[in-house]
Structure 1
């Protein structure tokens, strides 16, 4: 028996349910980039969940900064929008913590797969506090 099939694959119905649920929780950097290029972010807001220092250093264009550590109980956010949270990378869970906090406050959320690291690795631009589009090689997490 192969290692890859040591645990049998799920039946197609279960697999479809699982992968549909996974897509309900995550957004793809490529899809978000295409939306930004088309000027079509209707229905969602990108949320940088790291500390303000990281947000100042580099962020996805158009993102807002809501550090997960400092989220107040009451937020003045549009409840009709989806908030796509991101942090540094798969090794950082600030996006997960931010998405959890927003969901607990009644907002619909997703997490951006791979965070700003996956965004930069794909060659997509970032903003800095100078609002200059830049290519930044590494941003400190500050979570």
Structure 2
């Protein structure tokens, strides 16, 4: 005699969307989001017309920021964007990390001004955790990669 236990799936409580809907959803996410590894690779390669914007306040900026980023706190974007970001450039915004929506707010500000924009997922936190260099007032600093977020011995996760 077999016992059959009915198990309700938490994952499938809401059924997955159609494959066509998934394509549209994930393509839209990639159109508006990027990650720290891709931003790092583009900065290292010197990709033109890409401006990385740190939307944090002055104290956070001085604590450390991405090399090559420009500092434009969110509250100043409307007033200073045209002077800081060349026309036709694609903007990548970042703030502290996944627990902060400052980069989302900054991206919304840039989009409202007509700039093509992407938000860098993970923000400053994951940039640091993946072992990428940070510019401080005393120079470049690099912490070891966190093996929970990046391969310790490799340059990228290969995704």
- TM-score band, normalised by the shorter chain? 0.7 to 0.9
Work out whether residues 47 and 63 of structure 1, in 8 Å CA contact, stay in contact via their aligned partners in 2.
yes
Where relative contact order (Cα < 8 A, 6+ residues apart) is larger, the structure is 1
Provide runs of 4+ in structure 1 moved above 4 Å.
none
Superposition deviation, residue 97 in structure 1: 1.4
State yes or no: 1:15 paired with 2:22: yes
Q: Structure 1 stretches of 5 or more lacking a match?
A: 138-143
Q: Distance in 2 between matches of 1:102 and 1:79?
A: 12
Q: What is the CA-CA distance between 1:90 and the residue it aligns to?
A: 1.2
Contact kept in structure 1, 2:132 and 2:143, CA below 8 Å: no
* TM-score (ref. length: structure 1): 0.86
Unaligned runs of 5+ in 2: 1-7, 145-159
Is the 1:79–1:108 Cα contact (8 Å) retained in structure 2?
A: no
Larger Rg: 2
- Alignment-derived partner of residue 106 in structure 1: 114
Kindly indicate whether residue 59 of structure 2 is the aligned counterpart of residue 53 of structure 1: yes
2:70 counterpart of 1:64: yes
Residue in structure 2 matching 1:30, options 14, 37, 60: 37
Q: Is the 1:58–1:136 contact (alpha carbons within 8 Å) kept by the matching residues of 2?
A: no
- Structure 2 residue aligned with 1:135: 142
The equivalent position to 2:48 in structure 1, one of 42, 49, 53, is 42
Q: Please state how far the C-alpha of 1:6 moved relative to its aligned partner.
A: 1.2
CA contact (8 A) 2:98 2:122 kept: yes
The two structures have a TM-score, normalised by structure 2, of 0.78
1:43 CA displacement: 2.8
Cα deviation 1:63-107 (Å, max 9, x = unaligned): 000100222446223221111000001111111111111111111
* Cα distance in 2, alignment partners of residues 73 and 32 from structure 1: 26
